[in-house]
Amino acid sequence: MTNLPSILSVVAQQPELPLYCFSAKRLTKQANIFINSFAGTVGYAVKSNPEPRVIRTLVAAGIDTYDVASLNEIKLIREISPSARLLFDNPVKSEHEIKEAYETYDVRVMAIDDNHELDKVISTIGVKSDLELVIRFKIGNSNALYDLSKKFGTSHEAAVALLKRASDLGFQVSLTFHPGSQCSTPESYSDYMMAAKAVVDDAGIAIKTLNVGGGFPAPYLESDIPKLQLYFDAIEATWASAFADSGTELVCEPGRGMVDACVSLVTRVKHVRPDADVVFLNDGVYGAFMEQLFSPMVLPNREFRVIDNNVSELGSNKKNFTVFGPTCDSADILPYQPMFSNELATGDFIVFSMMGGYGSATATKFNGFMPGEYVDVCDTLEDHHALSFIGEQVNNELGAIA
């Protein structure tokens, strides 16, 4: 961890291909924020970023609970942390996945959201008293950028019935929900937790865990979101009023909110059409920016030029640019027009921050453009104020790209 390069010293090497700059220090800080402020067990949703150095850093920070959705995610965590608690929280699994997870990988927690999945579990591995079935339910409106309740989650009545049936059969039972990704209202968690309490009361069955999912937001530009602490406060207050003496364990499994801030992406400008304010980058929506296709999120960015190994930040007069990625597909365009310096030219570098969640995780190799690789750095873009970043001393000897 010592002598890691800074983002600027990575830029100084003039990388031709996109590079994800990972700060273990920043991720450790975020893990500690969750561990110290969330009133229960903190897990991590592997799908948001399965990069091994992310997982290793979280394990070192003390996170031992992982939300996994596939056998490959299960294998990944088992390799890095054989004793971790795995929550197979994908409510729809194949018989093969259920069997492998239970028998080969010691998975003892699985989500379900209908009777057919419960039937499938029983016909595949039988009733297991050491298996915790977590019933995913949903309530009406979502205040999130992604409303995940369209795909998963059962109604109050069905959740009550499923809870009873699974418990009567002899499984351990729990409840979970996901308020939607990039959830903008802390009250959503309280509403969901009270809805969970109503399910528990109507079923008359105590639950082992209440898993409040992910959804904790990241501070993108132009997104006026409440501070993370307000989410923790809302959850803690509702927990105290509804579950305090229940013997139930409170769990969360953030993805984006945990991992977004620790990764910055260094991209290079392949071409500028100055007359049209159009820029072509070496990465696009088929790579690091795929999530932008589904929900535009304005990412913080800074622009740099390298001359004789010296990095300087471009002038702060900015204007909107149309941004194309490197493929020949006309859909390879950012759905919003970011602000870049009006000095931007071919060969310059643009660093985007808040790239940890759903950046590298969703990148494709479409058209022969491979996903960027990872390098370890000591900082994030947010560690630097604009003025101190300009002319910052860059020591190339520290900047060896792994």
Ligand X SMILES: *Cc1c(COP(=O)(O)O)cnc(C)c1O
Residues making contact with ligand X (CB under 6 A)? 45, 47-48, 67, 89, 178, 181, 213-216, 253-257, 357
CB of residue 183 vs ligand X: minimum separation in angstroms? 7
Nearer to ligand X, 217 or 326 (CB): 217
Strands 263-273 and 349-352: antiparallel
The least CB distance from residue 194 to ligand X, in Å, is 20
C-beta of 180 vs 325, nearer to ligand X = 180
8 A C-beta contact, residue 340 and residue 301: yes
Q: Which is nearer to ligand X, 13 or 211 (CB)?
A: 211
CA distance 76 to 108: 17
**Exposure string for 95-132, b = 16+ CB within 10 A, e = fewer:** eebbebbbeebebbbbbbbbeebbebbeebbeebeebb
Listed in sequence order, the DSSP H helices in 110-208 are: 115-125, 156-169, 187-203
**Closest distance between ligand X and the C-beta of residue 89, in Å?**
4
Closest-CA residue to 331 (of 320, 323, 339, 341): 323
H helices, E strands: number in the chain: 12, 21
Question: Beta strands 209-211 and 249-252: pairing type?
Answer: parallel
Closest distance between ligand X and the C-beta of residue 276, in Å?
A: 35
> Rounded to the nearest whole angstrom, what is the least distance from the CB of residue 150 to ligand X in the complex?
13
Q: Which of 371, 386, 148, 383 is nearest to 256 (CA)?
A: 148
Nearer to ligand X, 252 or 323 (CB): 252
CB closer to ligand X, 255 vs 372: 255
Q: Which is nearer to ligand X, 251 or 351 (CB)?
A: 251
Q: Least distance from C-beta 213 to ligand X, angstroms?
A: 5
d(C-alpha 155, C-alpha 153), whole Å: 7
State the residue number with the nearest CB to ligand X. 214
